[in-house]
Amino acid sequence: DIVMTQTPVSSPVALGQPASISCTSSQSLVHSDGNTYLSWLHQRPGQPPRLLVYKISNRFSGVPDRFSGSGAGTHFTLRISRVEAEDVGVYYCMQATQFPHTFGQGTKLEIK
């Protein structure tokens, strides 16, 4: 199974400041079809997760442009250019290149 490792586990950030979350996979996430199925999800307390970014860097419909994804192979990053209050919660990276699909352990974003 592909192990997904996120850092940091917790990230206190002041409003208006940038935030960055890293995700490393135990093996390459490049699929045989040439795509890399690495996505980022956000979960607010008491809510289901929602898709933010798919295939490394594509923002999902309705996601603000302050969110951006980057990376390749086994190293990936989610960046928030200016954190807003609604961004609190837990962020997960997920690989869907191979079954079983696997998630990172989550990064909790809180306002400092």
- Shortest approach of other proteins to residue 112 CB, angstroms? 23
CB of 74 to other proteins, least distance (A): 18
Nearer to other proteins (CB atom), residue 4 or residue 80: 4
Interaction site with other proteins (CB under 8 A): 31, 35, 37, 39, 41, 43, 48-51, 54-55, 60, 90, 92, 94, 96-97, 99-106
Find the helix or strand (DSSP H, E) in which 69 lies. Answer: strand 67-72
Spatial contact of 56 and 72, defined as CB atoms under 8 Å apart: yes
Q: In angstroms, rounded to a whole number, what is the distance separating the alpha carbons of residues 84 and 23?
A: 22
Q: What are the φ/ψ torsions at residue 56 (nearest 5 degrees)? A: 75, -50
Q: How far is the CB of 60 from other proteins (least distance, A)?
A: 6
